[in-house]
């Protein structure tokens, strides 16, 4: 039987698709997105820019071990993580929240890992920030690529000026120099930074909303792998592994 050119092309495409599907099913490496915009202790990078420690590494190393996979860390800008998850170029990214992404239903979500309290950091001699009117006309240091749902509207209207930087350290330096009126940070990052020699005479006011939980987002591209990762993350939450690591970074004694 002779096949015409169109039939041959269809068969080739089918074989390629089958081969890709089989390769995905047999995946042996967990590709995890990390970003240096995740400040210590969430992610700690060495001088060569390689992830060397931190809560993200603790969680993802344990997840890879439970899933019987090797692990590869991909350092991505925050703005690219969602696209890479959706296209299957990375398998998992942590410290996200469905409210912070454009299309949350595109991914699987782990159980909540823990809650994070957003803080307004200000110079100690300035007035407390306890409600939205206290921010009007002020310049607030934020992290490039991050979303702040409670403030997006006032940022868009220009009532509060959003001023991005790449790191918390950079924002706090600008705050100390008087170039910012306040800086937004999560509690764990700020207190870890200050406990490890961070400069400045600052005060911290909690954001008035309920502290949000953070999750790991998992790509749907490889369903079998996604199921393994979800099972592993449920295990890490249920056996208190993540809670124990979090307490260590807070300087608490862990039995």
Domains 5-114+213-249 and 117-206 alike in fold = yes
pLDDT band at 254 (very low <50, low <70, confident <90, very high): confident
Q: Measured at the alpha carbon of residue 77, what is the angle toward residues 73 and 83, in degrees to the nearest 5?
A: 85
Q: What is the pLDDT of residues 181-237, one digit of tens each?
A: 999 999 999 999 888 888 779 999 999 989 999 999 999 999 999 999 999 999 999
- Asked if residue 132 lies in contact with residue 213, where contact means CB atoms within 8 angstroms, the answer is no
Is pLDDT above 70 for 101?
A: yes
81 contacts: CB under 8 Å, gap ≥ 6: 33, 35, 90, 93, 96
SS3 168: helix
Distance (Å, whole) CA 110 – CA 112: 6
Q: What is the pLDDT of residues 167-182, one digit of tens each?
A: 899 999 999 999 999 9
Place of tokens 């300035």: 126
SS3 201: coil
pTM over 0.75: yes
Question: What DSSP designation does 208 have?
Answer: S
106 — alpha (psi -120 to 50), left (phi > 0) or beta? alpha
For 117-206, CATH number out of 3.40.50.300, 3.30.420.40, 3.30.70.20, 3.40.190.10 equals 3.40.190.10
- Asked if residue 161 lies in contact with residue 136, where contact means CB atoms within 8 angstroms, the answer is no
For 5-114+213-249, CATH number out of 2.160.10.10, 3.40.50.1820, 3.40.190.10, 3.40.800.10 equals 3.40.190.10
Question: What DSSP designation does 199 have?
Answer: -
pLDDT band at 1 (very low <50, low <70, confident <90, very high): very low
Place of tokens 């990214």: 93
């Amino acid at each position: 039987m002779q096949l015409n050119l169109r039939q041959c092309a269809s068969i080739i495409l089918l074989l390629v698709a089958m081969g890709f599907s089989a390769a995905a099913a047999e995946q042996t490496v967990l590709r995890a997105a990390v970003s240096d915009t995740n400040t210590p202790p969430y992610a700690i990078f060495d001088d060569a820019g390689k992830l060397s420690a931190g809560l993200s590494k603790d969680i993802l190393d344990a997840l890879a071990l439970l899933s019987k996979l090797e692990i590869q860390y991909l350092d991505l800008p925050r703005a690219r993580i969602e696209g890479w998850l959706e296209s299957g170029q990375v398998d998992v990214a942590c410290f996200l929240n469905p409210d912070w992404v454009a299309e949350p239903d595109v991914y699987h979500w782990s159980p909540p890992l823990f809650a994070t309290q957003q803080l307004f950091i200000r110079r100690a001699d300035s007035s407390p920030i306890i409600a939205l009117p206290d921010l009007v006309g002020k310049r607030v240091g934020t992290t490039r690529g991050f979303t702040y749902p409670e403030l997006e509207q006032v940022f868009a209207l220009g009532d509060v000026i959003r001023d991005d930087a790449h790191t918390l350290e950079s924002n706090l330096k600008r705050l100390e120099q008087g170039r910012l009126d306040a800086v937004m940070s999560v509690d764990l990052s700020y207190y870890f930074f200050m406990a490890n020699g961070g400069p400045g005479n600052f005060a911290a006011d909690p954001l008035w909303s309920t502290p949000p939980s953070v999750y790991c987002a998992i790509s749907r591209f490889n369903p079998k792998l996604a199921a393994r990762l979800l099972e592993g993350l449920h295990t890490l939450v249920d056996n208190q592994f993540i809670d124990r690591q979090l307490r260590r970074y807070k300087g608490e004694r862990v039995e």
